[in-house]
């Protein structure tokens, strides 16, 4: 019984992760704005994390990009270099 409950909880987490997989803000090309795009990926057979890329445009026109990850528990972490 406990195993079925655990599997049901994991399945619901996968559905939740899929429903919030992509969050973006509009007008990414305007100065002082940013866009965040998150894409789910499989870590192993039963584990899905998200890779999020943030693109930010400064007022002087320079653009910077950063990447972070979100694990199956919603905890953010940085990529290992």
pLDDT score of 32: 78
Give the whole-angstrom CA distance, residue 81 versus residue 16. Answer: 29
Note the pLDDT tens digit of each residue in 27-59.
Answer: 445 677 899 999 999 999 999 999 999 999 998
pTM for the structure as a whole: 0.58
Mean pLDDT estimate for the chain: 77
**Domain membership of residue 7 as a residue range:** 2-77
Per the model's pLDDT, the better-predicted residue between 37 and 14 turns out to be 37
Q: How many domains does the chain divide into?
A: 1
pLDDT, mean of residues 9-29: 50
In this structure, the strands spanning 33-44 and 47-57 are: antiparallel
pLDDT score of 10: 58
């Amino acid at each position: 019984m406990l195993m079925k409950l655990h599997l049901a909880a994991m399945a619901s987490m996968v559905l939740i992760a899929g429903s919030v997989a992509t969050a973006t803000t509009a007008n990414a090309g305007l100065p002082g704005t940013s866009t965040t795009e998150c894409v789910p990926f499989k870590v192993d057979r039963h584990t899905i994390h998200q890779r999020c890329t943030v693109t930010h445009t400064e007022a002087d026109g320079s653009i910077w990009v950063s990447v972070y990850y979100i694990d199956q528990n919603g905890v953010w972490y940085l990529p290992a270099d």
